[in-house]
A = this chain, B = another copy of it.
């Protein structure tokens, strides 16, 4: 292993570590580690809820998930010589769970979880259909995941960091806050909310203390959304072997990352989330001086995915268009079309004996592909979802003869509702 520059003690909470990371974006969070371009290093990552979700058969922890505290991030890493306008090269050399196959209280220690938030505490992509909280526990064997809560399915995970990015400049941060507050103002009482404003409660800001802590906590951006700095992009294809290019907005770039996923389907539709895990990444960083202008990159990550993600060649796919469940026509809404495609897939899987929530959990975590198939054919966008057939222990194809195989149910998916 390369040197671990951000070690985490699995017996301690995130804010009690020797080097304390952060869970907000702000230019004035001090660097945790300084490195030179060309450095190869290891960094531990804590699972995004810092251990609040347990390996058990209750979804109460998901129902009351401490959303104010996410995402606990490793960093910032200050890269010497990095200046605004550069592109920061990040090579993801390795990524894995912290302690495979072991039992342990932290997800990543041989297991991971996927949750669906209750509508009144986070909500999610299909919150109309699934208004309660749910949880599924996955067991890891090498890179393969199985769950006691979902029968007859297993797959090779597509490991990736859900979240990685550079620090925003003060100007950029101000822009984020302004535009997100403006959105919230359009429907401030909405449940779930339209966006998340700055929140001092539960903020972790590295080594900051006192008045400076208070100031930054009040200003800092939440980590939930992806933004110009990369951030919580949840791109499942940022696998080991990927090279990612981030815009640099502050001196030193101040790279941070976390929210590791054992596996995820495109969209992370279950929101809480993929198969969440603590673990580590081996990274290599370098710079393209003046890269933003040189390559026309103003925002968001540019990347070259790795070539070792799990390969599947036989798929079952579903499509959807942008008409909502009430029959109302929306204009070219790819997001709604993807909801419909996902709902169609769930309806289909239920015919094989899965419950609706089991089917939803599969779509959120297996290496499914979600594509923007048609975005111009007014008024309907068409989105499609592709499920690898080999993840099922049985034949999942439609057939003119015989009845669909019925899975044998065991432990049901834990649910926690009102």
Residues of A within 8 A of B (CB): 1-3, 40, 87, 89, 91-94, 99-102, 124-125, 141-144, 156, 175, 179-180, 182-183, 192-196, 224-228, 230, 232-237, 240-241, 245, 266-271, 282, 284, 286-289, 291, 294-321, 323, 327-335, 338, 340-341, 344, 347-348, 350-351, 369-384, 386, 389-390, 397-400, 403-404
Contacts and interface: CB of A to CB of B under 8 A. Distances in A.
A282 B142 contact: yes
Please state the number of chain copies in the assembly.
4
A347 B302 CA distance: 12
A195 B227 CA distance: 31
B335 A224 contact: no
A313 B312 contact: yes
Given A308-B310, A373-B236, A378 B196 contact: yes
Contacts of A316: 302-304
B348 A384 contact: no
Contacts of A341: 300
Contact of A348 (B302, B305, B314): B302
| CB-CB nearest 8 A-B residue pairs | A93-B142, A2-B101, A296-B347, A313-B313, A234-B374, A225-B380, A179-B329, A195-B379
B390 A313 contact: yes
Nearest to A232: B377
Nearest to A284: B141
A339 B294 CA distance: 22
A320 B309 CA distance: 22
- Name the residue in A3, A194, A307, A338 with the highest tally of chain B Cβ atoms < 10 Å from its Cβ: A307
B89 A329 contact: no
Contacts of A399: 288
Contact of A313 (B125, B302, B311, B331): B311
22 contacts: A1-B102, A93-B141, A93-B143, A94-B142, A100-B282, A141-B284, A142-B240, A194-B379, A225-B321, A225-B380, A228-B321, A235-B373, A295-B404, A296-B348, A304-B397, A332-B335, A333-B333, A334-B372, A334-B383, A370-B372, A370-B375, A371-B371
- Name the residue in A40, A101, A318, A330 with the highest tally of chain B Cβ atoms < 10 Å from its Cβ: A101
Contact of A234 (B99, B192, B232, B382): B382
Contact of A245 (B296, B350, B398): B398
A289 B1 contact: no
A143 B226 contact: no
A271 to B, nearest CB: 4
Contact of A375 (B196, B291, B338, B390): B338
A334 B238 CA distance: 19
Nearest to A397: B304
Contacts of A369: 371
Nearest to A378: B195
Nearest to A375: B267
Contacts of A228: 321
Given A311-B308, A314-B307, A233 B382 contact: yes
A154 B234 CA distance: 29
B340 A300 contact: yes
Given A2-B100, A230-B319, A267-B376, 15 more contacts: A3-B101, A91-B141, A93-B141, A94-B143, A141-B284, A156-B307, A179-B327, A180-B329, A182-B329, A183-B331, A269-B375, A296-B348, A334-B335, A334-B372, A370-B373
B308 A309 contact: yes
Nearest to A338: B372
- Name the residue in A288, A329, A400 with the highest tally of chain B Cβ atoms < 10 Å from its Cβ: A329
A71 B344 CA distance: 27
Contacts of A298: 344, 347
Contacts of A182: 328-329
Contacts of A328: 179, 182
